[in-house]
Chains A and B, each alone.
Chain A
Amino acid sequence: MQYEKMKFAVGLFVSILILTIFASLYLLLDEKGTFDKRYSYHFSTDSAETFNVGMPLKFSGFNIGVIDNIALKDDGSVFMTFSVTSKYRKWIAEDSVLMIKKPLIGSPHIELYSAKGNKTLKEGSQLVILKSDDINDMISKFEPAVNRLINIVNSIDIITSKMSKDDSNLNKTMQNIEKFSGNLAVSNSLLTSVTGDDASTKNLIKTINSTTKIVGEVDKISKDISAITAKLDANIVTPASVSAQELEKILKDVKQKLDTLDSTVKTVGSYDKDLVELKEQISVGLIKSNQIMDRVDGILQNKKKSEIKLP
Chain B
Amino acid sequence: MKKLFLYLVVLFLFFACSFDTPPNEWQFKSINAFDSYQKNFLSSNDTLAKNDLSRAIKHAKSSDDLTTLARIYLGECALNISVGISDKCENYEKISSLIKDETLNSYFLFINKQSSDDSLKLLPKQYKNFSRYLKEQDYKKANETLREIKEATSMFLCTAILEDSADDESIDKVISTASLYGYKKVVIYWLNIKKNRTFDSIQKEKIARKISILGS
Q: Which A residues are closer than 8 A to B by beta carbons?
A: 290, 293-294, 297-298, 300-301, 304-311
Contacts and interface: CB of A to CB of B under 8 A. Distances in A.
Given A293-B55, A297-B36, A308 B31 contact: yes
A310 B78 contact: yes
Interface of B: 22, 27-36, 38, 51, 55-56, 59, 67-68, 71-72, 74-75, 78-79, 82, 107, 124, 151, 153-154, 156-157
Contacts of B22: 304
Given A290-B51, A310-B107, A311-B79, A304 B68 contact: no
The secondary-structure label for the interface of chain B is: helix
B31 to A, nearest CB: 5
B68 A311 contact: no
Contacts of B51: 290, 293
A264 to B, nearest CB: 37
A22 B151 CA distance: 74
Contacts of B82: 311
A297 B33 CA distance: 7
A311 B154 contact: yes
Nearest to B21: A298
A290 B72 CA distance: 18
A293 B40 CA distance: 14
B29 A308 contact: no
Contact of B68 (A290, A301, A308): A308
Contacts of A305: 28, 31
B78 A301 contact: no
A307 B55 contact: no
Contacts of A297: 29, 32-33, 35-36
Contacts of B27: 306-307
Nearest to A308: B71
B29 A294 contact: yes
Given A290-B51, A290-B55, A301-B35, A310 B71 contact: yes
A242 B33 CA distance: 79
Contacts, number: 59
A311 B55 contact: no
The secondary-structure label for the interface of chain A is: loop
**A-B pairs with the 5 shortest C-beta distances?**
A297-B32, A311-B153, A308-B71, A311-B78, A294-B29
A203 to B, nearest CB: 111
B71 A307 contact: yes
Nearest to A290: B55
Contacts of A307: 27, 31, 67-68, 71
B124 A310 contact: yes
Contacts of A309: 35
A307 B60 CA distance: 11
B79 A301 contact: no
A282 to B, nearest CB: 13
Given A305-B31, A308-B31, A308-B71, A294 B157 contact: no
A297 B157 CA distance: 25
A311 B157 contact: yes
Q: Which of B34, B56, B78 has the most CB of A within 10 A?
A: B34
A308 B72 contact: yes
Nearest to A305: B31
A200 B22 CA distance: 125
B103 to A, nearest CB: 9
Given A290-B55, A294-B29, A298-B29, A308 B34 contact: yes
B177 to A, nearest CB: 13
Contact of B32 (A301, A306, A310, A311): A301
Contacts of B124: 310
A175 B55 CA distance: 113
B51 to A, nearest CB: 7
Q: Which of A297, A304, A310 has the most CB of B within 10 A?
A: A310
Contacts of B156: 311
A210 to B, nearest CB: 105
Given A308-B34, A309-B35, A310-B107, 9 more contacts: A290-B55, A294-B55, A297-B33, A298-B28, A307-B67, A308-B56, A311-B75, A311-B154, A311-B156
20 contacts: A290-B55, A293-B33, A294-B32, A294-B55, A294-B59, A297-B33, A298-B32, A300-B32, A301-B28, A301-B35, A308-B30, A308-B68, A308-B75, A310-B75, A310-B107, A311-B38, A311-B78, A311-B82, A311-B154, A311-B157
Contacts of A311: 38, 75, 78-79, 82, 151, 153-154, 156-157
A306 B68 CA distance: 10
Contacts of A300: 32
